[in-house]
Amino acid sequence: MDWESRIADRIPAKPGTYILVLYLASNRELQVGKLGVLQVKPGYVLYLGSAFGPGGLKARLTRHARINKKRHWHIDYLIPSQKMREVWFTEYPRKVEHLLARAISSQPDIEIPLSGFGASDCACDAHLFFRRKEPDLSRILDVIGRLEGEVLQWTSLSR
């Protein structure tokens, strides 16, 4: 089953925050709209976002999983060249992507490959992160739960 179908079948049409985990096996250069050139190297890319509009998580993540689409967000330039590995999401009723961005950027071996990527509407350095080795998201998500003062329920889909 492809990612688009899996997301449509398993992710609710509720508001929430998500993390896409992508993998690329080779070096690439991608022009990301007016933002600039993204130097992608072999490893894992984490992209953070929120879906508080119509259709919630299901609509947003189904769109992200689609390969052929009009480019609207920065991530639309990157997804066609990547292999999606995991999708993590929470139905927490407030946006936590900014807390998540701070928690991920503070982890060892994390890089920001292109400043401003996915963060044109906030003060974060980026919502896109790179790590050569597979990231341990469960540890990062535990930190977010403590920052919010309660346990956030995260769900994951993997390939």
* Residue scoring higher pLDDT (111 or 33): 111
Mean pLDDT, rounded, of the chain: 85
Could you give the dihedral angle defined by the CA atoms of residues 74, 102, 24 and 152, in that order, rounded to the nearest 10 degrees? -100
- State which residues form the domain around 141: 3-158
pLDDT, tens digit, for every residue of 56-114? 999 999 988 887 888 888 888 787 656 788 999 999 888 888 888 988 888 888 999 98
Token reading at 70: 């009009």
pLDDT, tens digit, for every residue of 3-16? 888 888 899 999 99
Q: What's the angle, vertex CA 55, arms to CA 58 and CA 140, rounded to 5?
A: 45
Grade residue 132 by pLDDT with cuts at 50, 70 and 90.
very high
**Percentage of the chain exceeding pLDDT 90:** 32
Look at residue 147 and tell me whether its pLDDT is greater than 80. Answer: no
Contact, 125 vs 60, CB < 8 A? no
Looking at residue 81, its pLDDT comes to 58
* Residue scoring higher pLDDT (151 or 35): 35
Q: With CA atoms as reference, report the closest residue to 158 among 85, 89, 104, 92.
A: 85
Strand partners, 30: 38
Lowest-confidence region among 116-120, 139-143, 155-159: 139-143
In the three-class reduction of DSSP (H, G, I as helix; E, B as strand; rest coil), residue 84 is classed as: strand
Looking at residue 150, its pLDDT comes to 65
Please tell me the distance from the alpha carbon of residue 98 to that of residue 29, in angstroms, as a whole number: 27
Total structural domains within the chain: 1
